[in-house]
Chains A and B, each alone.
Chain A
Amino acid sequence: MDSIDNKQRRVWLKQAMSACGLLMTPAAVWAASKAVNPKTVAPWLSRVCDRVIPDTNVPGAVAAGVPAFLHTAVAHGLSGATASLLSRFEQLLTAQIAGDVMTLDDAPLSEALGALDEAAFGHPRGQVMPEIYAAWKTLKSLIVLGYFTSEIGATEALDYVLVPGRFEPDVPLSEHPRAFSSDWTGVKYG
């Protein structure tokens, strides 16, 4: 299966495109998400991101720059977020845990967020959803989005192959246990 690393893929892609007489699209980096100065990211948000997707065998959400992305995401309405989502959720969470997120250790913070997560995702359909549940579901979806579309998430936690070059319809999972971030059908429909 595909064991080529990204650098090799880029070289291969250039060769393949060149062989076809095709132009190479410039790899300009649009860094809007980096427009948010990491120093301005609220510390509480980094802690929440870290509890949702911590470092595992690969770097987690904080290393992937998810907190900064969240500021961009809410400012532009991704996942239906409002611009005030982050500040409002901080207020709601502070009230929920009756204290400051920054004063909690990792374990109790994970416990609090885990309970909130279970309550929010287990909330019965058709019943009015408490504001904190709705805010959490939006925030969590953006954390997941931000992580797996980051370079770390897409290429280290998952595998990104821009030009597979072939379709193999039936492959033992044991040969490729990591999911493809570039499986656009699986990503689109989830």
Chain B
Amino acid sequence: MTKQTVYDAIVIGSGITGGWAAKELTEKGLKVLLVERGKNIPHRSGYKNEMRPPWEMPFRGEGDQNYIDEHHPIQQHSGHLTEWNRDYWVDDKAQPYQTPGDSKFNWIRGYHLGGKSLMWGRQCYRWSDYDFSANARDGIGTDWPIRYKDIAPWYDKVESFVGISGAKEALPQLPDGQFQPPMALNAVEQYMREQIAEHFPERRLTIGRTANLTEGKPDEGRAPCQNRSICSRGCSFGAYFSTQSSTLPAAQKTGNLTLLTNSMASRLIHDPDTNRISGVDVLDTQTRQTTTYRSKLVFLCAGAFNSVALLLRSVSEAFPNGLANSSGVLGKYIMDHASTVGVASVIPGFNDRYYYGNRPTGVVIPRFVNLDSQEQPYTRGFSYQGGAYRAGWTRGMKEVGIGESFARDLQGPGDWKFVLTSFAECLPRAENHITLDTENTDADGFPQLQIHFAFGDNEHQLLKAAKEEAAKMVTAAGGKVLFGSDRPNPGGSAIHEMGGARMGRDSKTSVLNGYNQAHDVPNLFVTDGAAMASSACQNPSLTYMALTARAAEYAASQLAKGLI
């Protein structure tokens, strides 16, 4: 069935970037169809477990482990799946994928309205020219077609709308932004900041820059953060940024948005006569009916790997190897940060101090190696995220002790722990790639993805250095190192999968131009993580948002000029 309505734009995917595309395009007066493969989770009323204490949960917040093992064998390794939010994570049994050979990749997903914006980590960091020029500097990967100056105004724009709390530090490798007031460091974090500054002047520990409001935005129905730190259940206060709390209501307010849920874009239809996408086949996952929707523009925001998969599925005579793939690099150069626990430690001397409330962010130590000169044997760098806290009652599950003294001890807080997770930049390498599996299909009948991925020698060197440097910082501060690792968690564990349809200056070596527009097909824009040409070592979501807003501005202007 083909719908006669011709939308100005179809946005595929309602996560962080899809929400932004819908907001920006509708606010420019475009009629937009937003297509989401998963179910609708309405803001507030959809957060069914948000307020429930553990004793009101059937499995006390842990979840039915037997069920989780069967249905979420991958998702549970995200470290964020709980009984409260289990419905937000895909059923791995219904949505399988392949990791051929020695590949290891934990593909973490949320198929519902809002996508991963509902349960994301909310850390928002600008990239700098150390990042946008990295590929050009060491010759690994292709040069980004943009520099910091091109995206800085868009960072300003999205930060102001998202509402990001953070402290300005005047660090060139982690540019400051339009921040709401920062959240506070606790006693041990403040001590560690001072100790690190004293012993390692080139390093800086600062509070995480997080998409949690410290000042409410009442005009947008968003209250300030209540310091619960249960964000991933959904937040009825609207205190953290998600599609539901932020971009979707803004788009709906324009009257220009049509939202489809339980609707999976199965194929993009390329018209060889006009060299444009003329429509999108959309499968209603409940009725199993496919409908073709027409539009002038398509914004592909289905999540990095799913966006690439849709392009790979959308073959035609003109594009037999995948839509917009004349370069042959579609699906290649995928990345995810190499991450592991750099250090877990105990910091003595503060056992008379505590805190009240649950701050929904940790701390960050930005990259400090290989900035203005290549002084290390490895290329690029790493950063840390973590924080200090007092051990809770769960320490009793793994410590010796029974009886009254044991029970009374657990009534109080335990030692102060200080933990840093290392995030190492992942180099773009052609052998890390995704393809369609020709033999296995998912529950919707589409080819599964094959994810070919391994970390390389540089990532291992980076994590080794990160472990060593983390231990040095803890030791210098008088802390006791309990544990540290330089072995990367499986790919995907950072939940920063990106690449596969990279931006670039040359249509022969990249899929997208400097405005996230397909070199091959002018009315196709890909603005999620697929567009990334390198990975930096800080969280990418803010950059996705800025690129999306920038691309929307460009696309709308090109459309208005009749150039698309």
Contact = CB atoms under 8 A, between A and B. Distances in A.
Interface of A: 1-2, 13, 17, 20-25, 27-33, 51-54, 56-58, 60, 69, 72-73, 76-80, 110, 113-114, 117-118, 121-122, 140-141, 144-146, 148-151, 153-154, 157-158, 160-190
Nearest to A73: B59
Given A1-B356, A157-B407, A172-B352, A187 B392 contact: yes
Interface in B340-371: 351-359
Interface stretch (B29-37, B410-418, B458-466): B410-418
B56 A30 contact: yes
A23 B352 CA distance: 39
Contacts of A51: 402-403
Nearest to A13: B51
Given A52-B403, A78-B59, A186 B392 contact: yes
Given A167-B183, A190-B392, A54 B403 contact: yes
Given A25-B236, A167-B184, A178-B411, A151 B357 contact: no
B391 A190 contact: yes
A25 B52 contact: yes
Interface stretch (B130-138, B219-227, B315-323, B528-536): B219-227
Interface stretch (B42-50, B96-104, B432-440): B42-50
B411 to A, nearest CB: 5
Interface stretch (B116-124, B281-289, B393-401): B393-401
A190 B54 contact: no
Contacts of A31: 58
Nearest to B411: A157
A151 B55 contact: yes
B352 A173 contact: yes
Nearest to A76: B64
A29 B354 CA distance: 32
A162 B358 CA distance: 10
Contact of B413 (A17, A30, A186): A186
Given A171-B356, A179-B392, A179-B411, A163 B187 contact: no
A96 B332 CA distance: 59
A20 B410 contact: no
Given A77-B64, A190-B394, A168 B230 contact: no
Given A78-B59, A121-B399, A173-B413, A167 B356 contact: yes
Given A25-B47, A25-B236, A151-B53, A140 B393 contact: no
A182 B358 CA distance: 8
B229 A184 contact: yes
Contacts of B359: 167, 169
Contacts of A53: 402, 406-407
A166 B227 contact: yes
Sorted from nearest, which 7 A-B pairs have the closest CB atoms?
A186-B392, A32-B58, A164-B357, A190-B394, A77-B65, A149-B60, A167-B357
B397 A154 contact: no
Given A56-B404, A56-B408, A172-B354, A141 B51 contact: no
Contact of A162 (B184, B228, B395): B228
A166 B357 contact: yes
21 contacts: A20-B236, A25-B50, A27-B56, A52-B407, A58-B411, A76-B66, A79-B65, A114-B403, A144-B394, A144-B410, A145-B394, A154-B55, A168-B355, A169-B355, A171-B356, A178-B412, A179-B412, A183-B358, A186-B413, A187-B393, A188-B392
A113 B351 CA distance: 30
A122 B357 contact: no
A171 B355 contact: yes
A1 B396 CA distance: 26
Contacts of B221: 21
B60 A69 contact: yes
Given A32-B58, A114-B403, A185-B387, A141 B398 contact: yes
Nearest to A148: B393
A103 to B, nearest CB: 20
A188 B78 CA distance: 13
B409 to A, nearest CB: 10
Contacts of A110: 402-403
Contacts of A113: 402
A158 B11 CA distance: 48
B400 to A, nearest CB: 4
Interface centre among A2, A118, A189 (most CB of B within 10 A): A189
A149 B236 CA distance: 24
A160 B53 contact: yes
A187 B144 CA distance: 42
B308 interface: no
Given A1-B356, A76-B67, A171-B356, A23 B45 contact: yes
A29 B393 contact: no
A22 B359 CA distance: 22
Nearest to B70: A77
B356 to A, nearest CB: 4
Contacts of B58: 30-33, 72
Contacts of A69: 60
A65 to B, nearest CB: 9
Given A24-B51, A179-B414, 19 more contacts: A23-B236, A32-B58, A56-B408, A76-B64, A78-B59, A121-B400, A140-B402, A144-B396, A149-B54, A163-B228, A164-B356, A164-B357, A165-B226, A167-B357, A169-B359, A170-B190, A174-B352, A181-B54, A188-B392
Contact of B410 (A1, A148, A176): A148
B392 A164 contact: no
Nearest to A34: B58
B168 interface: no
B236 A22 contact: yes
B252 to A, nearest CB: 17
B419 A173 contact: no
A169 B413 CA distance: 15
Contacts of A171: 353-356
B407 A60 contact: yes
A157 to B, nearest CB: 5
Given A25-B48, A178-B411, A190 B53 contact: no
Nearest to B394: A190
B339 to A, nearest CB: 16
A117 B405 CA distance: 14
A56 B407 contact: yes
